[in-house]
């Protein structure tokens, strides 16, 4: 998070300026309630609640709320005429960035490397296909799109190589947290197919985050070999410090500090002192990777991954952080994404055609690549195709990637909008399509019992 982002908060909280704080409080009320409402509707439609939260954030942006009620939208999200210029938007940006740091830390802590070890060759093959095929197709599409970036609102300063690398990376991501929720709701998390999908997605995410960090370094370093080499060396050094210094020193202390709640209702908890130490280290890690030039979120993920593997520590950290991150910070991030997304930027036939091409390439690369690899690995046709559909789930992880690209200035607004719609569409299609593909398989009775298929 930038110094300017933090500096905006005292503006809102300064003595005698509570009239400037009130618009921010109104924003938070609207954002939190809209997210909860979207989550409820999504669950009613048998979709993960996070899909409804993403859609709610999109609807709060200029594409819906701003288009239908422009004056009310300006009053809520632009702060009215009384707000200091830019302070409200800077505050939402700061909140969303802090939320992503916490989220990536939790994802790192919950990352289960045993899935990768146990599934072995099949998961590796599916993951490799799920990275290579969409990346190559996305990179190729970007090369075709590059001459038309000006017509899509792109600045002349966008580097074609950075754009192509980011589009390829965006096509390669799988959202393992959302995929895990889908498998749990379908009752498939402990099945052989579920284990294969989770292991493949874990490999995919490990490679995907590494790829994103590398592409960010290339874009930030301006493709200067010396600067990029320095960023890569610093990143590897920091990762090694997390794994070989922080983990052996901090993890045993955390494990000894975990205490079960006396009433037995809250599960394992950390003392507030230890939780303070963890949060301080988390923000130091985020600051270090931000200084390196590969974004603060990678510091959160690397620190979290270095502390993974101990169930009671994972449960204790999740008990402290997950609910607040889910209810408060994530809706702010989704709304921040929605405020950046204007479907009106796709109003021309050319832009709509490119949007369809982005969606088609994304689905073909992930569904086709992973499904084919699973079939070659010996899975039945229906199950192999279902693996491809599951791996095609992008959701939250895709939004993080494209926001990184937007912040670096390598993705124009229209392409950003295309990728947001692709992230939502590929997630919405996962559950119903996978259920249909698994009809006639050993998983059909479970899907019928849970209401995903008719008997």
* Number of other CB atoms surrounding residue 372 within 10 Å: 17
- In the predicted model, what is the mean pLDDT of residues 8-25? 62
- In the predicted model, what is the mean pLDDT of residues 124-150? 92
Residues 159, 162, 163, CA angle at the centre, nearest 5°? 85
End-to-end CA distance of the chain: 52
Measured CA to CA, the distance from residue 396 to residue 419 in angstroms comes to 12
In this predicted structure, what is the pLDDT of residue 278?
95
- Residues sharing a CB contact under 8 Å with residue 181, sequence separation 6 or more, in sequence order: 48, 50
CATH of residue 423's domain is 1.20.1530.20
List the one residue out of 79, 97, 101, 75 whose CA is nearest residue 5: 97
| 54 within a domain of the structure (yes/no) | no
| 50 within a domain of the structure (yes/no) | no
In this predicted structure, what is the pLDDT of residue 79?
59
Hey, what are 312's tokens? 């009671």
| 396 within a domain of the structure (yes/no) | yes
Query: What is the average pLDDT value for the chain, to the nearest integer?
Result: 84
Q: Does the pLDDT value for residue 293 go beyond 60?
A: yes
In this predicted structure, what is the pLDDT of residue 284?
95
How far is CA 151 from its chain centroid?
Answer: 28
pLDDT digits (tens, 9 = 90+) for 66-106: 889 888 888 888 754 334 345 566 777 888 889 888 988 98
- Let me know: does 393 contact 173? Beta carbons within 8 Å: no
pLDDT digits (tens, 9 = 90+) for 409-422: 888 889 999 999 99
Measured CA to CA, the distance from residue 74 to residue 67 in angstroms comes to 11
| 248 within a domain of the structure (yes/no) | yes
In this predicted structure, what is the pLDDT of residue 1?
45
- Residues sharing a CB contact under 8 Å with residue 218, sequence separation 6 or more, in sequence order: 161, 162, 165, 228
Report how many domains make up the chain.
1
| 27 within a domain of the structure (yes/no) | no
Q: Does the pLDDT value for residue 358 go beyond 70?
A: yes
| 252 within a domain of the structure (yes/no) | yes
In this predicted structure, what is the pLDDT of residue 353?
94
Percent of the chain, pLDDT > 70?
89
pLDDT digits (tens, 9 = 90+) for 37-49: 998 998 888 787 8
Least confidently predicted of 12-16, 113-117, 394-398, 399-403: 12-16
In this predicted structure, what is the pLDDT of residue 86?
53
More confident: 455 or 26: 26
The band of 369, judged by pLDDT with boundaries at 50, 70 and 90, is very high
Hey, what are 112's tokens? 């289960």
The band of 298, judged by pLDDT with boundaries at 50, 70 and 90, is confident
- In the predicted model, what is the mean pLDDT of residues 425-446? 91
Measured CA to CA, the distance from residue 7 to residue 94 in angstroms comes to 10
Q: Does the pLDDT value for residue 133 go beyond 90?
A: yes
Q: Cβ-count burial of 31 within 10 angstroms (0-12 exposed, 13-18 middle, 19+ buried)?
A: buried
In this predicted structure, what is the pLDDT of residue 410?
86
Q: Does the pLDDT value for residue 16 go beyond 50?
A: no
In this predicted structure, what is the pLDDT of residue 453?
84
| 77 within a domain of the structure (yes/no) | no
In this predicted structure, what is the pLDDT of residue 82?
36
In this predicted structure, what is the pLDDT of residue 117?
60
| 62 within a domain of the structure (yes/no) | no
Task: Provide the domain limits for residue 375.
Answer: 94-449
The SS3 of residue 157 is: coil
pLDDT digits (tens, 9 = 90+) for 194-210: 888 888 887 787 777 77
Residues 337, 300, 217, CA angle at the centre, nearest 5°? 75
The band of 3, judged by pLDDT with boundaries at 50, 70 and 90, is very low
The band of 266, judged by pLDDT with boundaries at 50, 70 and 90, is low
- Residues sharing a CB contact under 8 Å with residue 328, sequence separation 6 or more, in sequence order: 32, 99
In this predicted structure, what is the pLDDT of residue 20?
66
Handedness of CA 214, 218, 219, 220 (dihedral sign): positive
Percent of the chain, pLDDT > 90?
32
How far is CA 142 from its chain centroid?
Answer: 22
DSSP line for 369-426? HHHHHHHHTT--HHHHHHHHHHHT--HHHHHHHHHHHHHHT-S-HHHHHHHHHHHHHH
């Amino acid at each position: 998070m930038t110094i300017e982002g933090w500096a905006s908060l005292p503006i809102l909280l300064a003595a005698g300026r509570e009239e400037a704080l009130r618009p921010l409080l109104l924003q938070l009320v609207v954002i939190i309630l809209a997210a909860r409402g979207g989550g409820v509707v999504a669950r009613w439609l048998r979709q993960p609640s996070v899909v409804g939260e993403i859609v709610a954030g999109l609807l709060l942006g200029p594409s819906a709320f701003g288009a239908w009620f422009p004056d009310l939208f300006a009053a809520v999200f632009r702060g009215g005429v009384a707000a200091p210029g830019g302070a409200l938007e800077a505050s939402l940006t700061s909140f969303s960035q802090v939320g992503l740091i916490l989220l990536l830390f939790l994802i790192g802590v919950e990352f289960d490397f045993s899935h990768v070890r146990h599934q072995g060759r099949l998961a590796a093959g599916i993951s490799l296909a799920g990275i290579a095929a969409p990346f190559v197709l996305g990179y190729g599409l970007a090369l075709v799109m590059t001459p038309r970036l000006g017509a899509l609102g792109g600045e002349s300063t966008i580097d074609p190589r950075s754009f192509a690398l980011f589009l390829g990376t965006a096509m390669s991501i799988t959202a393992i947290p959302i995929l895990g929720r889908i498998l749990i709701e379908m009752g498939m998390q402990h099945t052989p197919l579920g284990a294969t999908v989770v292991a493949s997605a874990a490999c995919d995410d490990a490679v995907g985050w590494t790829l994103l960090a590398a592409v960010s370094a290339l874009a930030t370093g301006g493709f200067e070999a010396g600067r990029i080499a320095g960023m890569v060396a610093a990143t590897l050094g920091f990762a090694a410090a997390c794994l070989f210094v922080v983990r052996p020193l901090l993890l045993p202390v955390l494990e000894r500090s975990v205490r079960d709640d006396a009433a037995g209702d809250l599960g394992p908890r950390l003392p507030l002192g230890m939780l303070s130490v963890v949060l301080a280290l988390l923000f130091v890690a985020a600051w270090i990777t931000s200084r390196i030039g590969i974004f603060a979120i990678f510091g959160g993920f690397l620190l979290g991954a270095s502390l993974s593997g101990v169930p009671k520590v994972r449960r204790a950290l999740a008990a402290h952080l997950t609910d607040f991150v889910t209810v408060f910070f994530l809706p702010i991030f989704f709304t921040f994404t929605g405020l950046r997304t204007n479907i009106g930027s796709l109003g021309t036939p050319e832009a709509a055609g490119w949007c369809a091409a982005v969606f088609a390439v994304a689905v073909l690369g992930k569904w086709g690549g992973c499904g084919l690899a699973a079939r070659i690995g010996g899975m039945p046709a229906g199950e192999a195709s279902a693996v491809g559909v599951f791996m095609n789930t992008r959701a939250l992880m895709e939004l993080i990637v494209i926001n990184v690209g937007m912040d670096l200035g390598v993705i124009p607004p229209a392409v950003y909008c295309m990728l947001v719609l692709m992230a939502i569409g590929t997630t919405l299609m996962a559950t119903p399509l996978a259920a249909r593909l698994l009809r006639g398989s050993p998983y059909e009775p479970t899907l019928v019992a849970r209401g995903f298929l008719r008997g």
